[in-house]
Amino acid sequence: MTIKFHLSDDLLLGYSAGSLDEPSNLLVASHLALCPHCRARNASVDSLGGYMLDSLPEAPVPMAMMSSVLTRIRCESEAPVPPTRSPSTANFLIPEPLRSYVGGDVHDLNWIRMAPRVHQIQINTPNSRSQARLLRFQSGTSVPAHGHRGRELTLVLTGSLCDRDTILFRGDIAETDERTEHQPYAGPDEDCICLAVTDAPLRFKSMFARLLQPLFGI
Amino acid sequence: MVALEELRGDENSVAASLADCIARIAVSKDETSFEALFRYFAPRLKSYFMRLGADASAAEEVTQEAMVQVWRNANQFDRSRASASTWIFTIARNLSIDAFRRTRRPSFDPSDPAFIPDGEMLPDLQLERAETEQRVRFVMNSLSPNEKSVLMLSFYENLSHGEIAERLGIPLGTVKSRIRLAFAKIRTALETRQGEEQ
């Protein structure tokens, strides 16, 4: 299936510049693992970094620095050859680097029930403003209608997620901001698993959902 | 022997000389090439790290670390995929995240079975990397100072869009639209090139 919804220029720029926080970096890197198109864009943005390094004014460097670096590199032993991993034929649904963060593939995880038909895995990223979590919606389940206090990024990994007039499949990205109010639901065929990164707690519309919010931790 | 004079001249020949230096380090651990790279990159790397908020001595510390990594990883440099400056930029960026930014920047793993390889890349993106990079540089040279400054600030001073707006005294929407415009120009340049070849 070809990916239709890609990373925004803003996210690519932030990933390349190194200015995103860890949860957003994790989402970008996981999309890049699935999307050759965005990897090519990412390489173009990295080359902006090279261009700008060339055009920076030079800061004076003490004479002694070169000799101290030369001393260090003369002590370098041959770099160890990285062990070649035997090619695995395993069919993972969760790509790296995300799989290492959550500790395994879809079926290895201890999913925590958040609500009827909705499970999650919280992803621990210390010192981050935003929160990453893996969400699993049973097919046909809808998320309570909600708005956002900040940005929400979603990367679909299995199944499909219908959001207003678009349907997202594996690899697709949805980016919403504080202006968005929506009620996405999982497609009918299989469970939808997605990685969600939220900048600020969601703002649920109904009183019932708002009451539950502290319990779900979202 | 690479004299410093050789690293002047037009942009393309500088880029080629720098790439040659890395290649010679990979093949024969050539210290003279390393010294030429050091003279070109160390002052720029220090400048980059200081723009990210490091003081002079911390910036020099990380600059040394970056140059040691250039030496150590020279055999991973592939000039068909990136210029010397771009490759060294990525080394410096990754070091800056560990050293100053107290966060992590995970990357994808091409040997992961779930990784989708480039073979399925769309045809309009199969430009040679090196050529793409030249096009990007050409577009950057043609941007207005206003457009360029927005990109520079997000790259080199690690500022959010809001902070850039404040620094330049322009509305947030203008920052976003300048970034969008700059990217659109880059995209157009890459696609035009592709169109000429068809």
Which of A10-14, A68-72, A182-186 is predicted most confidently? A68-72
Length of chain A: 218
Q: Considering only CA atoms, give the Rg of chain A.
A: 21
**A22 in Cβ contact with B104 (< 8 Å):** yes
In terms of pLDDT, which residue wins out, A122 or B195?
A122
Decide if pLDDT at B155 tops 60.
yes
Whether this prediction's pTM lies above 0.95 is answered by no
**How many angstroms away from the CA of B18 is the closest CA of chain A?**
11
Decide if pLDDT at A211 tops 70.
no
CB contact under 8 A, B158 and A19: yes
pLDDT at position A142, please?
83
**A85 in Cβ contact with B109 (< 8 Å):** no
| Chain B CB within 8 Å of residue A148 CB | no
- Enumerate the residues of chain B whose CB falls inside 8 A of the CB of residue A51: 85-86, 136-137, 140
**B58 in Cβ contact with B99 (< 8 Å):** yes
Per residue in A147-194, pLDDT (tens digit) is: 666 788 999 999 999 988 889 999 999 988 777 777 788 998 899 999
Question: In the structure encoding, which two tokens stand for residue A168, read together?
Answer: 């997202």
CB contact under 8 A, B64 and A65: yes
Q: Hey, which residues does A152 pair with through a beta bridge?
A: A176, A198
Q: For residue B87, what are the contacts with CB-CB under 8 A and spacing of at least 6? A: A50, B22, B77
Distance CA A176, CA A153 (A): 7
CB contact under 8 A, A96 and B72: no
**Using CB atoms, which residue from B31, B101, B107 is nearest to A97?**
B107
> What 3-state DSSP class applies to A167?
strand
B34 — pLDDT class (breaks 50, 70, 90): very high
Question: In the structure encoding, which two tokens stand for residue B35, read together?
Answer: 């010294």
Mean pLDDT for the stretch of residues A58-67: 94
How large is the ipTM? Answer: 0.85
CB contact under 8 A, A52 and B112: no
**B21 in Cβ contact with B34 (< 8 Å):** yes
- Enumerate the residues of chain A whose CB falls inside 8 A of the CB of residue B177: none
Give the neighbor-by-neighbor strand order of the sheet with A185-186: A166-168, A161-163, A185-186
Mean pLDDT for the stretch of residues B41-50: 95
Q: Which amino acid is at A192?
A: C
CB contact under 8 A, A53 and B44: yes
**A1 in Cβ contact with A157 (< 8 Å):** no
| Chain A CB within 8 Å of residue B40 CB | no
- Enumerate the residues of chain B whose CB falls inside 8 A of the CB of residue A16: 93, 155
Q: For residues A43-69, b (16+ Cβ closer than 10 Å) or e, as one string?
A: bbbbbbbbbbbbebeebebeeebbeeb
Please, what is the average pLDDT of chain A? 85
Q: Considering only CA atoms, give the Rg of chain B.
A: 18
Q: Which residues 75-114 in chain B show a CB within 8 A of chain A?
A: 75, 81-90, 92-94, 96-97, 101-109, 111-114
**A209 in Cβ contact with A146 (< 8 Å):** yes
**How many angstroms away from the CA of B97 is the closest CA of chain A?**
7
Mean pLDDT for the stretch of residues A50-70: 92
